[in-house]
Amino acid sequence: MTDYAITIKTDEDKDVLNEITKIFSNHDVNITYTHLSVDSHDSATIDFEVEDVTDIDKLIEDIKSVPEVNSAEIHGSSNDIYGKRIVIMGGGAQVSQVALGAITEADRHNIRGERIGVDTIPLVGENSIAEAVDGIARLPRVSALVLAGSLMGGEITEAVKKLKEENDILTICLNMPGSITDVVDLVVTDPTQAGVMAVMAIADTAVFDIDRLKGNNKF
């Protein structure tokens, strides 16, 4: 095992994060995710997910040697615990139907060892949805985005183009008016089926290759 999640509790100090990252660098460890929060008692909690660890015991020992560090605990990584994420956004009625299909299909695969979660956010308005699409790139573990609405284009389309250029995230939308259908990987008419196909496309336990649908991507 070379990937770990480490939770470090420290006294709040402007140099403590720098000292900890120096230790990771000295151990040739790659940081894949980090989150820092400061509570009301002048202490902080820093969550790291790291990979390429060769000596976890020595790494933890060195972290605990930093004077400001109060504790350092090892956990399973978020990817191992929570796995992949599907995000569904758009109109509330359509979002709920896509979620119905996605959750039902995810349950079948999770029983067989997958870890697939479904996040939903009902949104209206071009600016709000475009901003949410842009934010997908900053969320951890997202494997697929489903846009569920009645009309999408303009800034939403541009946000999806940018997302696809910079990230390996599957994009699916419902069959609707607007330019969004020209840029996503798959267009599905039935919302429940859209949720099912999103799960099948990212599940390792599914025999489904979305690349075979290229050129005929509307259903």
Q: In 3-state terms, what secondary structure has residue 175? A: coil
pLDDT digits (tens, 9 = 90+) for 61-79: 999 999 999 999 998 888 8
pLDDT of residue 212: 67
Entry pTM: 0.83
Burial class (CB within 10 angstroms; exposed 0-12, middle 13-18, buried 19+) of 192? middle
Report the side by side order of strands in the sheet with 4-11: 30-38, 43-51, 4-11, 69-75
Q: What are the structural domains, with CATH classification, of the chain?
A: 4-76 (3.30.70.260), 83-213 (3.40.50.10550)
Computed over every residue of the chain, the mean pLDDT equals 91
Whether residue 214 has pLDDT greater than 80: no
**Token pair recorded at residue 188:** 């599905």
**Token pair recorded at residue 7:** 């939770």
Whether residue 150 has pLDDT greater than 70: yes
| Contacts for 65 with CB less than 8 Å, ≥ 6 apart | none
- Would strands 142-148 and 170-174 be described as parallel, antiparallel, or unpaired? parallel
pLDDT of residue 109: 95
Do 147 and 172 touch, CB atoms closer than 8 A? Answer: yes
| Contacts for 121 with CB less than 8 Å, ≥ 6 apart | 87, 88, 89, 95, 132
Beta bridge partner(s), residue 7 = 47, 73
> Mean pLDDT across the stretch 4-31?
92
Burial class (CB within 10 angstroms; exposed 0-12, middle 13-18, buried 19+) of 104? middle
Q: How far is CA 98 from CA 170, 177, 193, in A?
A: 15, 18, 7
pLDDT digits (tens, 9 = 90+) for 105-118: 999 999 999 999 99
pLDDT of residue 215: 52
Backbone angles phi, psi at 50, to 5 degrees: -130, 160
Range with top average pLDDT, 39-43, 99-103, 209-213: 99-103
